[in-house]
């Protein structure tokens, strides 16, 4: 049985529908992601899974229980890393873990060794007795993750786990989350970073305007909704003019059938994307079109999102 399952899950705030009838299942041991831009309904979904917000429609089961009736019991099996840190800045690093463990009624004798172990795990042992306030953003985030683990939860919920962190701090957090994954900890996360989703998620759903628009592993999604490669062409001149030239290129006799050369053309404000399975060959033909620079890269989830919604993930 799935650890978490939702059917037609809906959340309305007055007239506004934040989550619009979504279905998903999370299996034990997997890392499951909600990928989408800000305002897609990811955090609202996460709050419903965390049993701090009642669904206004549909059904939700977590560990086989109904959050409307057994919220307290469900929450005792969850570890939550909220989007906005809510550590107690006046308490020490270790006290933050202690006090949170007490909310789960864990006795001091259990907490003491566990706190030492968790601080070791998130590389904060030397800061155990320091105040939280002067810690860096990355350290606070790691401490919040340690705090979420204090009750040995069955599911770890992470809402935008690395938003606001610098690249180095992000990698440290990712590395810790991989380690947890290897230990078999089920993780549910939201992100608007496609690289984060690709790095961490076994399976994910792409959300847009409260709806799920695609579901699968990062690789499946890219195979299904994008091409193997993307040729990015930049220009000093007008993008629309260049896009037109590129479209004609696809129709030229040398290119033979347009489908063979590329599948789609996407126009962005500063560049044109050509979705293709033969990037190098396409680049060889570009000499005929005036452009500034060209780059061939792998398709990413960003391309999947662009294809599905016509918009970029990060605005």
Partner 1 sequence: MARAAVVPSTRLAVEYWLLTYRRNWKGSILTSFLSPVLFLAAMGLGLGSLVDAEVGSGRDLGGLDYLDFLAPGLLAGNAMMLAVNESTYPVLGGFKWYRTYMAMAASPLRGRDILLGHFTYMAFRVTLASFVFLGVMAAFGSVSSPLAVLAPFCAALCGMAFATPTAAFVATRINADNFSTYTRFVIMPMFLFSGIFYPVSQLPIVLEQLAWLTPVWHGVRLCRALSTGSGMNWELAGHLAYLVALILAGTLIASRTFTKRLYE
Residues forming the site for partner 1 (CB under 8 A):
13, 50, 52-54, 71-73, 75-76, 78, 80, 82, 84, 86-91, 95, 98-100, 102-105, 151-152, 154
Q: Which is nearer to partner 1, 108 or 298 (CB)?
A: 108
Can you tell me the distance from the alpha carbon of 301 to that of 87, in angstroms, rounded to the nearest whole number? 32
Can you tell me the distance from the alpha carbon of 146 to that of 291, in angstroms, rounded to the nearest whole number? 50
Q: Which is nearer to partner 1, 66 or 89 (CB)?
A: 89
Q: Which is nearer to partner 1, 58 or 82 (CB)?
A: 82
Least distance between partner 1 and beta carbon 64 (Å): 14
CA-CA-CA-CA torsion sign (48, 159, 191, 174): negative
Q: 209-245 burial string, b = 16+ CB within 10 Å, else e?
A: ebbbbbebebeebbeebbbebbbbbebeeebeebbeb
**Order of strands across the sheet that contains 229-234:** 264-267, 271-276, 229-234, 293-298
Give the closest residue to 296 by CA, choosing from 214, 227, 206, 249: 227
Least distance between partner 1 and beta carbon 165 (Å): 19
Least distance between partner 1 and beta carbon 46 (Å): 11
**DSSP class of 262:** -
Least distance between partner 1 and beta carbon 104 (Å): 5
Q: Which is nearer to partner 1, 180 or 212 (CB)?
A: 180
Give CA 289 to chain center in angstroms: 37
Least distance between partner 1 and beta carbon 193 (Å): 23
Q: Which is nearer to partner 1, 48 or 242 (CB)?
A: 48
């Amino acid at each position: 049985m799935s650890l978490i399952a939702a059917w037609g899950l809906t959340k309305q705030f007055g007239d506004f529908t934040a989550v619009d009838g979504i279905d998903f299942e999370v299996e034990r041991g997997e890392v499951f992601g909600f990928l989408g831009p800000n305002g897609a309904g990811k955090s609202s979904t996460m709050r419903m899974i965390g049993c701090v917000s009642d669904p206004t429609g549909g059904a939700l089961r977590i560990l086989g229980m109904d959050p409307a009736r057994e919220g307290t019991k469900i929450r005792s099996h969850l570890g939550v890393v909220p989007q906005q840190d809510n550590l107690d800045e006046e308490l020490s690093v270790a006290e933050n873990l202690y006090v949170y463990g007490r909310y789960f009624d864990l006795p001091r004798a259990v907490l003491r060794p566990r706190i030492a172990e968790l601080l070791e795990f998130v590389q904060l042992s030397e800061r155990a007795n320091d105040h939280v306030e002067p810690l860096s953003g990355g350290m606070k985030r790691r401490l919040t993750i340690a705090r979420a683990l204090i009750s040995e939860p069955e599911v770890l919920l992470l809402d935008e786990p690395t938003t606001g962190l610098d690249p180095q701090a992000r990698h440290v957090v990712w590395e810790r989350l991989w380690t947890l994954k290897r230990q078999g900890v089920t993780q549910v996360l939201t992100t608007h970073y496609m690289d984060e989703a690709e790095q961490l998620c076994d399976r994910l759903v792409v959300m847009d305007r409260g709806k799920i628009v695609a579901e699968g592993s990062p690789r499946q999604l890219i195979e299904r909704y994008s091409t193997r490669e993307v040729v990015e062409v930049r220009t000093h001149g007008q993008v629309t003019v260049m896009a037109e030239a590129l479209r004609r290129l696809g129709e030229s006799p040398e290119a033979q059938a347009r489908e063979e050369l590329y599948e789609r053309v996407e126009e962005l404000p500063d560049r044109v994307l050509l979705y293709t399975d033969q990037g190098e060959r396409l680049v060889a033909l570009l000499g005929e079109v005036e452009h500034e620079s060209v780059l061939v890269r792998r398709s990413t989830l960003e391309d999947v999102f662009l294809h599905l919604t016509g918009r970029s993930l990060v605005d």
